[in-house]
């Protein structure tokens, strides 16, 4: 007998994409809409003059579009993100560690509001967490 048998079954497809579990673009755009609305009115973030100026150059509807495209792409959806890199779009904003935490808290509020399950929340936080090094500029 040969030492190596072919596997009897190919591995099960692990699961549907995060994109599909979020409800596709309909789910993603609704979540992003609420999240960006929270960020643009957040007092702590608006105290940073660079962030406040960035809001003028990038109106909320534009941010909602770009962030939705990005989330769609990285969660396995059919979109192609065509915006700037996270470093290019945030380097001049002088974002602090504390401002990052405020953003994460608002994100959590949005996800809870729409009852996004824990597993999907964790996957989203892992994705967002990877951008921290490019977005946070100071302690
Ligand atoms: C404390 C955290 C964050 C703050 C305060 C913030 C704020 C901003 C501001 C003000 C702009 C517009 C900049 C300008 O026009 O000069 C911007 C752009 C953008 N941000 Fe953020 N952001 C944060 C985190 C994130 C995260 C975590 C993501 C996604 C993972 C993200 C995705 C984007 C995208 C896609 C753009 C548009 C890029 C383009 O113009 O092509 N941001 N952000």
Q: Is the CB of 67 under 6 A from ligand 1?
A: yes
Q: In angstroms, rounded to a whole number, what is the distance separating the alpha carbons of residues 39 and 93?
A: 14
Kindly provide the ipTM of the predicted complex, given to two decimals: 0.97
Tell me, what's the pLDDT at 121? 98
Does the domain at 18-138 match CATH 1.10.490.10? Answer given as yes
Span 58-79, average pLDDT: 98
Return the best residue to mutate from 31, 44, 93 for the ligand 1 pocket (most ligand atoms within 8 A of CB): 93
Predicted local confidence at residue 15, as pLDDT:
78
**Of 24, 11, 112, 14, nearest in space to 125 by CA:** 112
What's the CA-to-centroid distance between 20 and ligand 1, angstroms?
24
User: Cα of 3 to ligand 1 centre, how many Å?
Assistant: 54
Is the beta carbon of 106 within 6 A of some atom in ligand 1?
no
Residue spans per domain, the chain: 18-138
Q: Cβ(28)–Cβ(22) under 8 Å?
A: yes
Predicted TM-score (pTM) of this structure: 0.91
Question: Is the pLDDT at 13 greater than 90, yes or no?
Answer: no
Torsion angle of C-alpha atoms 114, 116, 117, 119, degrees rounded to 10:
-160
Q: How far apart are CA 88 and CA 10, in angstroms?
A: 42
Beta-carbon neighbour count of residue 109 at 10 Å? Answer: 12
């Amino acid at each position: 007998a040969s030492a190596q048998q072919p596997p009897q079954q190919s591995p099960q497809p692990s699961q549907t994409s995060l994109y599909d579990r979020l409800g596709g673009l309909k789910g993603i755009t609704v979540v992003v809409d609420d999240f960006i609305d929270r960020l643009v009115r957040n007092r702590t973030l608006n105290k940073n003059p660079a962030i406040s100026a960035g809001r003028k150059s990038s109106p909320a509807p534009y941010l909602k579009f770009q962030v939705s495209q990005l989330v769609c792409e990285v969660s396995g959806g059919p979109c192609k993100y065509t915006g700037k890199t996270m470093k290019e779009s945030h380097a001049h904003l002088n974002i602090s560690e504390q401002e990052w935490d405020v953003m994460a808290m608002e994100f959590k509020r949005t996800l809870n509001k729409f009852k996004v399950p824990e597993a999907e929340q964790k996957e989203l936080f892992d994705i967002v967490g990877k951008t921290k090094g490019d977005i946070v500029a100071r302690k």
